[in-house]
Structure formats: C-alpha cells, structure tokens
Structure 1
Amino acid sequence: MSRHKRKGSTTEISSKMSQIEDRLETGLGEIRNQLGTAIATGTVQKNPDLLKQLTDKLNELENCIKSSLEEVKKEMHDFLDMQKKRFNENGVAFFGIQEGDTSVLPETMAKFITSKFNFEVTVADINYCYRMGASSTTSTSSRADRSKRPRPVAVFFVNRWLRDRVFYAKSVLKGSAVMLCELLCDSVLQLYKQAKLILGAKNVWTR
C-alpha cells in the first residue's frame, strides 16, 4: 500500500525547499552561461539588448523564487500551528489557582483535581504543568493586581482520555474561584477573541 504525503508535512515542505533550491541553481546557471558566452564571443557589444534580456530573466527568476518561498513559509506556519494544536490536545488551563511553590506544582494540581473532581489523579497522570505568563518578580503589574490574579496553570495529562474526563467535568468548579479552559493554538485563539468581540462572550464557545 502506498503512503501519501500529508499536505504541509515536513517531508513535503522539505521537498518544496529542495525544488526551490534546484530551480534557483538551474536559473542562475543558465544566466551565468549565457552571460559568459556573450562576453567571450563579444555578443554583448553586438547585441545591446542582451543585457536587458538577461536582467529581465534574472528578475523573473527572483520573483518566482520569492513567490515559492512565501508559499512554503505559509505552509510551515500552518504546519507549526497544527502541531501546537495537537500538542495542546492533552492539556487544559486552570485559572484561579493560587500562586505557590512551582517545584511541587504537579503534586498541587493532582491533589486539587482529585479533591474537586471526585476521581483520583496522581502525579503520574500528569505529563507536566507550568504557570503561564511572567512571574511576579518580572511582571510590571502592581502588587495588588498580582495578588488578585494568579497566573493560569497549564496542565498536560498523559493521555487524551484523562484530559477529556477532567475537561467535561468542569461544571464541578461552578461557583468556585477556579475556572477551567481549553488550551488553544494561536490561530484558534485569535479567531475566538474576534468572535467574542463581534457576537459577545456568552454567544461564543470553543467546544
């Protein structure tokens, strides 16, 4: 069974970059050869339009390469965005968890989830977690603002099943100071923010 390359995959992007490199090398080689031959045979003096023709060909090659590079650049951006989205699939963000010792953050989050969600989550169930945003020592916000707004905690579970179990049970946090949200990639986050501005926060949701 043959395997098809996924559009925007690293293999396809690498292949396109090789094609661009070959096209550039071939195009420049042809121009160099034509110019070298013209100089050696004295054609430049006999045909003044030759330099203009070669310049036009060089400009055409330059525009072609630039266009191809822009296409690859967009595909690379989309690919990285897709990878980030997949990477975030096992993660959620907790807002309202009070600041504390980050060295024991996995233990803190495991205990919090177990106590609030009524099923056991251990440190072994958490791939890793971290505080999102600058710490209080580097933040430019006032001390009062920092005390009111603890940094969100991103928690990545070892599998999607556990992540979904936690996420879809988020109603247990209703009425508390803690809120649970999805981790969105940059493109989806920007779209979500724009939709909220247009339709209102109550009329927009991610899932």
Structure 2
Amino acid sequence: MSKRTTSHRSGTSILRKRAAVVAAGFAVSAVLGTGAAFAADTAQAGALPGVASASLEAQATAQAKAASSAHQAAAKKAVSWIDPVKNYTLSAGYAQGGSMWATGKHSGQDFAVPIGMSVMAVHGGTVVKTGPNGAGDGPAYGNAVVIKHGNGTYSQYAHLSRIDVHVGQNVSTGQHIARSGNTGNSSGPHLHFEIRTTPNYGSAVNPVAFMNAKGVRV
C-alpha cells in the first residue's frame, strides 16, 4: 500500500517536473523570440536614421558643390576687365607731350615690360585688326592688334614682337593674344595700350581713366 503510494507520488512528481520543463521551454522560446524580434526592430530602426543621415550628407555635399560653382562663375563674371600685362611699370601716359608721338601727344598708356611677355585681352570681344604697320594705323605702332568689345569700345595693343590671334577670332577676358616687343617707333621694350571709340587711330580716350571706371586700378 505504501509502495503504491510511493510509486504514485513518484510518478506525479515526474509528470510535474516534465510539465515544468515544457513550460520553461515555452517561456524561454517566448523570451528568445521576443528578444530576436526586438533586436530586428532595433536594427531596422537604427538602419533608417543611418540611411537618412547618409542621404542628407550626400545632398548637402551636392548643394555645397553647386553653390561653389555658382560663386566661381559669379566671381569670373565680375572680373570683366583686367590689365593687359602683368608685372609692369607705367611709363609714358595718355596725352603726354613729346617728339616720339606723331601728333605731339601720346595716344595711350605705355606698360614697360621685357620683350616676350604675354599680352592679354583686357575684356572679351572680337579681333578686328592685326598685323604690322600698326594693323593699318601707321608704322609707328609696329605690330598691333585691335579688339572690339561688346560695349562699343575697342582696345589696341602695339609694339608687339609676335601676334597670336587673327581677325574674326573671339577672345575672352584674360586670354593670351600676343607677346610684348619693341617694334615700330619705340624707345625700348614696352606695350602701348589704347582704348578707342572706333577701331582706328585718332579715336583714343584716356585708357587709365577708362580702366579705373571699370574697377581696374592701373
């Protein structure tokens, strides 16, 4: 009798233990499943801000590049007039008297530079005259170039050692057009520069005053 009781109690205990183990297994599974789901959700939630951050960063970079390009274009447009040569010393000025000039008055501004210095277009335009004999303005100018600008004025470059543009060619501000020299009626290497109201001799205006009005301090 007591043996049966013992046996019965033992079986009940085993069943209870098994039930507890199974229950514990379900609990562990539930906990693990919840944890996995939470981890997945967390990873997904973390991934979204990361993607958004990368996208925003790329967009900001693109906008910065666009702004930089626009700024450079605006700056380039603003610098619309420049000096015709670099590293110069001003010599004979406009309307200066002397026996060197055909009319007794100097018609431009001289920039004293060595032979072979790059001569640049002071403003964008179209080349309308080139060649020796002052490009048709007389032998005193030597080799010369005349450029017509969009605002109805002309720039002239004389005493050149070499001409590197041709009639009809469009040039931009700062573009190389020739090399300085000592051709024509010249007392030494320099660039003779004029601003004119026509392409021809006799229409020159004060080039320094003109360039100063354009923001160029000659």
TM above 0.5, one fold? no
Higher relative contact order (CA 8 A, sep 6+): 1
TM-score bin (small chain): 0.3 to 0.5
Between Structure 1 and Structure 2, the one with more strand by share is: 2
Rg larger in structure: 2
TM-score, normalised via structure 1 length: 0.33
Between Structure 1 and Structure 2, the one with more helix by share is: 1
TM-score, normalised via structure 2 length: 0.32
